[in-house]
Amino acid sequence: MANTSGLFTAPSVPSLRRMNQPSIGIYRSGFCSSYGISKRVFCSSTIEGASGISASESRVRRLVSQGCKLVGCGSAVPALKISNDDLSKIVDTNDEWISVRTGIRNRRVISGKDSLTGLSVEAARKALEMAQVDPDDVDLVLMCTSTPEDLFGTGPQIQKALGCKGNPLAYDITAACSGFLLGLISAACHIRGGGFKNVLVIGADALSRYVDWTDRGSCILFGDAAGAVLLQACDSEEDGLFGFDLHSDGDGLRHLNASIKGNETDHAIGTNGSVVDFPPRQASYSCIQMNGKEVFRFAVRCVPQSIESALEKAGVTCSSIDWLLLHQANQRIIDAVANRLEVPQERVISNLANYGNTSAASIPLALDEAVRSGKVKAGHTIATAGFGAGLTWGSAILRWG
């Protein structure tokens, strides 16, 4: 079981060096202790006046000893490709200016018959096919997006489109570019603490709908996409999620936001002085507002610290990981974090040039391409991190397959 500090039960992974220090997590009313030597989980949940082991305590022990692993992935992108040269026709920029500063050359944008829900369903189906899991066996869908196509969330619509006959729970998680990572940790907690077996985690965003296409400082960055993974319950010895580290700082809102704004059109009613400011004006969200320099400073400072913290909690050294997979925001950020962690470029996954910043979709999209190309293989260890608006950021140490 995990708590908010990111302490998981330690799995048996012969290829990784573990620290023989206990980690303590809290599970409901009990405390779970995981020791690197024995790789076993012990829970203590005492009830005054009770003798022996209660049914509830037995269930707690069974659930806490359960692990989770990534067994399938998929992705989908819109048909419309927008190159840097295309952008130069509508805003004062050029291919060299964009590629040197960001590493981006193309991005995909939703148009025509494309929809974010449709892309999400396609990505989810591919993940289920790879995992060889029937939609009816899915018991939770987590839709990680900050741009849903319905105010009340998109998760249930994806569950319906997949044809999950058992009406499994589906809901949205909003955390911008950190959304997929938070969804991944949430899925693990549902499996470890709730007995769920197959959890779909989808990261999808259509930030093109909230971009000011006259602002060359921001419009060059963003694209649309969807990516998905299937997280599946397993024995603790096969556990594939070793540790994590999560943070947020609301003070950073001023550096990156898309705040709500009121319609400035005067209402025909409510102007006779009967009730001030009622009825309220219709509202919409502003375009993305970003202080690029501050966001860059935040990322290169906080992301390496978070990854180092997750590695320490997992008992894994940075030299032991096979791949570094960061949110695909800017190639200079990716390079700076890799340099700080002393990870060679050949072990860094990046597809930013082809898709730009796809927000919550960027990590699962890059992972899917790396898996299907044969770059990431079963048993490989990945250090991954997301960061963005909120501000939110976090990292996880995981194993593929």
Token digits of residue 176: 């911008």
Collapse the DSSP code of 165 into the 3-class scheme (helix H, G, I; strand E, B; otherwise coil) and give the result.
coil
CA 341 vs CA 123, 240, 303, 344, 345: distances in Å: 31, 22, 10, 9, 11
Partners of 199 in the β-ladder:
140, 231
| Cα–Cα distance, 293 to 314 (Å, whole number) | 32
The one catalytic residue among 68, 73, 177, 302: 177
**How, if at all, do strands 169-173 and 198-206 pair?**
unpaired
CB 333 within 8 A of CB 296: yes
Beta strands in 11-88 (DSSP E): 23-27, 30-34, 41-44, 66-76, 80-83
Token digits of residue 326: 């960061």
If we measure between CA atoms, which residue out of 207, 389, 353, 230 comes closest to residue 287? Answer: 207
The one catalytic residue among 198, 330, 354, 357: 357
Which residues are within 8 A (CB) of 167 and not within 5 positions of it... i.e. 6 or more apart?
159
357 has catalytic annotation: yes
The one catalytic residue among 144, 189, 198, 327: 327
If we measure between CA atoms, which residue out of 203, 149, 151 comes closest to residue 358? Answer: 203
If we measure between CA atoms, which residue out of 233, 232, 200, 206 comes closest to residue 126? Answer: 200
- Run of H or E including 244: strand 241-248
Which residues are within 8 A (CB) of 206 and not within 5 positions of it... i.e. 6 or more apart?
110, 116, 147, 224
177 has catalytic annotation: yes
Distance from chain centroid for Cα 90:
32
Q: Catalytic amino acids?
A: 177, 327, 357
